[in-house]
Amino acid sequence: MPVVNVNWWKGAGEQQRRELVEEVTKTVSRIAGCPAAAVTVIVSDVEQDHWGTGGRLAADL
């Protein structure tokens, strides 16, 4: 029973989250050889000022 955590910048709409969960579930199910119902996808929206990359806040990029 795979659990996938996705962190991405806040701002994506419900339709984008829906599509992400659908596609990640399909891919993990295929690769892991398990039914789609066994796959859990957790999507976390992160503010850009709470996300750092390359030593800088993403809000400053």
pLDDT at residue 41 above 90? yes
- Is 35 noted as a catalytic residue in this protein? no
pLDDT on residue 7: 98
Write the single-letter amino acid at 27. T
CATH 3.30.429.10 fits 3-60, yes or no: yes
* Measured distance CA(48)–CA(2) in Å, rounded: 28
What average pLDDT score do residues 36-42 get? 98
User: How many Cβ atoms sit within 10 Å of the Cβ of residue 15?
Assistant: 8
- Give the tokens for residue 52: 């750092």
Of the residues 2, 8, 41, 48, only one is catalytic, namely: 2
* Angle value at C-alpha 8, between 49 and 11, nearest 5 degrees: 75
